Structure 1
Amino acid sequence: MIYFDQAASSFPKPLEVTEAMVKVMNECGANPGRGGHALARQAATYIDQTRMKAASIFGCSDPKKALFYHNATVALNQAIKGLQWQKGDHIIATAFEHNSIRRPLEHIKNKYGVRVTYLKWRGSKTAFTQDVAQAIQPETKLIAMTHASNVTGTLMPLTEIMELAKRNHILTLVDASQTAGHLSINMKAQGIDMLAFPGHKGLLGPQGTGMLLVEGDIELEPIHHGGTGSFSESPNQPEQWPEKLESGTLNTPGIAGLYEAFCIYEQRKDENVPRETILAKQLYQGLTKIAGVACYGPDENEQRMPIVAFNVANVDSQEIAMILDSHYNIAVRAGLHCSPLTHEVLETTNQGIVRASLSIYNTEKEVTSFLEAIAEITAAYSEF
């Protein structure tokens, strides 16, 4: 199979990732922080080293504030719902937001009377930065934004927005679901207060892993309460990090796999032009040459994530994806991609969009085969 659904979950995984997970399952099945015996201590070592590695890679000052969750969705929920809200508080977000941000924002809007402004993308980083500046109000407490659109691959002007936030004493939350593993991110250098990302996408780690990194003295209330393996004498949740915000048994095999993914990423993160970026550019260029195909997002001269979004004439995107799967053995993602506001802006709510997304393991030959398949499909529909 040609797997062009890397923005949903990367596949295949590096051998080191799967070997680390199997090793933990076979040799160290104990709970981290839930006992003083040798296996429990070994499990805790896997957790601690991954926490420190994440803090080092992403520029988080305190590894104890590098928190583990099952995915980026839970991490984003903890960041948003964990802040103290009151009626009249204001949040700035983008129309590119995945439901992992939008739905928690709508929840606190309905629960606390918080106001949320979703800014549309007008095709220019300069224009968007100006829009953010104009949207800031005295009551603005948080800027919560995706680093890149999961639908089109459009990159947001992160540095400029973080500078705006700092000047106006506004907290920031960045969803790096599409950029972690593709772009270098440093929280201290870029002024990011909270950073959330999954392990299973660009980082090439296992599913069931995600993190929230917090930089500086930010108070968060836990959205989950329960066993932490220590401070058990108290009926209340501990105040110490990370225990305060990590209840229940952690996914030790997954976190061990994530550590190996981090190590592999460190070896390639300084590449000038990642392989998948080159391939995505070739794919975009090829699609624009096929009559009847409409592409969305940045043009070939702009930096983008390895995502190419397109449609074939007026054909439903799910139908195109089904044909690619059943007739060409090609996997893509079609539909609304859990980002309905993006499709409202692009006017594709009814049709959806076909999304092809690539990783370092995809090849130029696969891109060529994909373009040939789309050309055949488009030609077939043009006959009707």
Structure 2
Amino acid sequence: MIYFDQAASSHPKPSEVGEAMIQALNDIGSNPGRGSHRLARKAADIVTDTRERASRLFGCSDPQKAMFFSNATEALNQAIKGLSWSQGDHVIATVFEHNSIRRPLEYVKRTYGVSVTYIDWDGDTAAFERNIREAVNSNTRLIAMTHASNLTGDVLPVEQAVTIASEHDIPVLLDASQTAGHLPINMRDMGVDMLVFPGHKGLFGPQGTGMLLVEGTVELEPILHGGTGSFSEEPENPQKWPEKFESGTLNTPGIAGLNAALAVYEAEENKNVPRETMLCQSLLDSLRDIDGVTCYGPDECQLPIVAFNILNIPSQEIAMILDSHYDIAVRAGLHCAPLAHQFLETTNQGIVRVSLSKYNTKEEVKYFLQSIQEIVSAYKMM
């Protein structure tokens, strides 16, 4: 099968990832932080090394504030729900937010009486900056935004949002689910207070891994409580980071795989404009030349994502045809981003999303384009 669903979960993974996971599972198998014996120490070393590597790669000053979660969704929930909320507080987000941000925001809105402003993004940086400035008020407590749309691949102007946030002493939460592994990210340089990313997308790590990195003095309360392997005599979670936020047994094999994936990424010499983004540009340019195809998102690929529709055909139908007749895997539907579809006026049809990785080839793209041309021709004959 040709796998063009890399934005959902990357496949295949580097061999180092699986090897590290198997070693952690078969040769170590112990619980980090739950004992002083040799195997427990080896498990703890894996966890510590991964914290340090992630902090080094993404510009987090304190590795103790690099915390593990089961996925980016869980990490975003901790970042949002862990803040201290009061009635009348205000949050700024964007229409391109994944439900992993939108739903926690709607939860605090419903639970605490917080208001949320969702800012449009149509490629106009000046308008985006102006709209954020107009939205900020004395009760704005957070700017929570995606670094890039999982639907169209639009990279949003984070720098402008951070500048405004710093002027008003508002913390910024950045969802790097689509950009980690594709674009250079440094929290300190960018002025980002909280960064979230999954292991299983652009970083080529395993599923079931995600991280929340916190820079500076942001205060959070844990949303999960339980055993932490330390301070066991206390009735409350320990106040020490990261134990405060990591109740329960960590996914050591997954973290080992994530560490291996981060090491592969760290060793890459060029982290700017990967070849898969350039390959995606070729795909996008050719799709635009097919009569009956409508493309969405930026004219120039910023990430290896292309979003499109064919005539007025439901996107799920196109995906099913690509799967069953051409052996091509793509994603279709609403992509957990309903506000983005409302903005693009594609809620009823959905969108077909193609996403590539460094393992995809020119030959695969050529075959995909031939398939689309055949599908369009067939529908036009009906």
TM-score past 0.5 threshold: yes
- Other-structure match for 1:324: 322
**Runs of at least 5 residues in structure 2 that lack an aligned partner in the other structure:** none
- Other-structure match for 2:336: 338
SS of alignment partner, residue 92 of structure 2 = strand
- Other-structure match for 2:280: 280
CA distance in 1, matches of 2:272, 2:83: 38
1:175 corresponds to which letter in structure 2?
A: D
- Other-structure match for 1:366: 364
C-alpha displacement of 1:159: 1.4
- Whether 2:100 is the aligned partner of 1:100: answer yes
C-alpha displacement of 1:273: 2.7
How many corresponding residue pairs?
382
CA distance in 2, matches of 1:31, 1:187: 30
1:307 corresponds to which letter in structure 2?
A: I
Per-residue CA distance 1:315-342 (angstroms, 9 max, x = gap) = 0000000000000000000000000000
* 1:1-384 correspondence to structure 2 within 5 Å: 1-268=1-268, 270-300=270-300, 303-384=301-382
CA contact (8 A) 2:20 2:253 kept: yes
Provide closer, same or farther for how the CA distance between residues 146 and 269 of structure 1 changes in structure 2, counting only shifts above 3 A.
farther
CA distance in 2, matches of 1:25, 1:107: 37
CA contact (8 A) 1:148 1:156 kept: yes
C-alpha displacement of 1:271: 3.8
Per-residue CA distance 1:288-312 (angstroms, 9 max, x = gap) = 0111000000013xx5211000000
CA distance in 1, matches of 2:96, 2:272: 27
CA contact (8 A) 1:181 1:269 kept: no
CA-atom RMSD in angstroms:
0.8
CA distance in 2, matches of 1:156, 1:347: 19
CA contact (8 A) 1:92 1:135 kept: yes
C-alpha displacement of 1:133: 1.3
CA distance in 2, matches of 1:344, 1:106: 17
CA contact (8 A) 2:184 2:271 kept: no
Higher mean alpha-carbon deviation, 240-249 vs 124-133, is at: 124-133
2:155 corresponds to which letter in structure 1?
A: L
1:230 corresponds to which letter in structure 2?
A: S
**Runs of at least 5 residues in structure 1 that lack an aligned partner in the other structure:** none
2:350 corresponds to which letter in structure 1?
A: G
CA distance in 1, matches of 2:113, 2:101: 17
CA contact (8 A) 1:182 1:269 kept: no
Provide closer, same or farther for how the CA distance between residues 168 and 269 of structure 1 changes in structure 2, counting only shifts above 3 A.
farther
CA contact (8 A) 1:293 1:312 kept: yes
CA distance in 1, matches of 2:232, 2:125: 50
SS of alignment partner, residue 122 of structure 2 = coil
C-alpha displacement of 1:269: 6.0
CA distance in 2, matches of 1:95, 1:271: 28
CA contact (8 A) 1:47 1:252 kept: yes
SS of alignment partner, residue 30 of structure 1 = coil
C-alpha displacement of 1:217: 1.3
SS of alignment partner, residue 354 of structure 2 = strand
Q: TM-score, normalised by structure 1?
A: 0.98
Q: TM-score, normalised by structure 2?
A: 0.99
Per-residue CA distance 1:88-144 (angstroms, 9 max, x = gap) = 100000000000000000000000000000111133122211211111111111000
CA contact (8 A) 1:82 1:222 kept: yes
CA contact (8 A) 2:227 2:247 kept: yes
